[in-house]
């Protein structure tokens, strides 16, 4: 039996390195959170969780609006638009749940971050259909930190996010 046959016959996970941190759901979430928070954010993205989620919601909503403006029947484009709507709803819900716990300053920071994104999308929407289509196709998505920040504000998690060292990756 070759290596492929041996691997197919395995009934258990073979751990080849790393730590136990990646083998449980909660630890897995902490690991991905640590990775997400260790990566740099794009220029202009806020670093605090609540304003970042507002920025992320505006990014996704703008991308959805851009896609809708194309009046496309392309299945992949339509799927991206629908996925974006779902993401925007998750971010909006997190902002709604966490909003009452935020200081007036944090709320102002969040609105300013979202407004700056909406301004950029508005400039894209002024372009012709071909340019809008190209921009829609080139949108690479959001930083992984957006999802974790939304979860943290929604669940009122106030402890610092996990670091790479915390999860054994450093």
Domain boundaries, the chain: 21-154
pLDDT at position 149 is 98
Which pLDDT does position 31 carry in this prediction?
93
Please, is 165 exposed, middle or buried when counting C-beta atoms within 10 Å of its C-beta (0-12, 13-18, 19+)? exposed
Residue-wise pLDDT tens digits, 87-112: 999 999 999 999 999 999 999 999 99
And the tokens for 102? 């935020």
How many residues are there in the chain?
A: 170
Residues of the chain with pLDDT under 50: 1-23
- Written as one string, the DSSP assignment of 19-38 is -GGGGSHHHHHHHHHHHHHH
* pTM of structure: 0.83
CB atoms within 10 A of CB 140: 6
* Dihedral, 145, 149, 151, 157 alpha carbons, nearest 10: 130
Could you tell me how far CA 47 lies from the centroid of its own chain?
Answer: 13
C-alpha distance from residue 19 to each of 10, 27, 29, 34, 81 (Å): 21, 10, 14, 14, 38
Q: Tokens standing for 81?
A: 């638009």
pLDDT of residue 20: 44
Predicted confidence at residue 129, as pLDDT, reads 96
Residue 27 has a pLDDT of: 76
């Amino acid at each position: 039996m070759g290596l492929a046959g041996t691997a197919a016959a395995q009934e258990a996970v073979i751990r080849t390195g790393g730590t136990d941190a990646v083998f449980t759901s909660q630890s897995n979430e902490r690991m991905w959170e640590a990775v997400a928070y260790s990566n740099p954010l794009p220029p202009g993205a806020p670093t605090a969780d609540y304003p970042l989620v507002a920025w992320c919601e505006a990014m996704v909503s703008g991308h959805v609006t851009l896609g809708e403006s194309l009046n496309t029947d392309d299945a992949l484009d339509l799927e991206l638009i629908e996925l974006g709507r779902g993401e925007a709803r998750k971010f909006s819900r997190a902002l709604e749940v966490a909003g009452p716990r935020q200081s007036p300053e944090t709320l102002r920071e969040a609105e300013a971050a979202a407004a700056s994104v909406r301004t950029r999308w508005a400039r894209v929407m002024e372009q012709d259909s071909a340019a809008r289509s190209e921009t829609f196709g080139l949108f690479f998505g959001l930083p992984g930190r957006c999802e974790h920040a939304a979860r943290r504000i929604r669940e009122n998690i106030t402890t610092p996010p996990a670091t790479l060292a915390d999860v054994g990756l450093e």
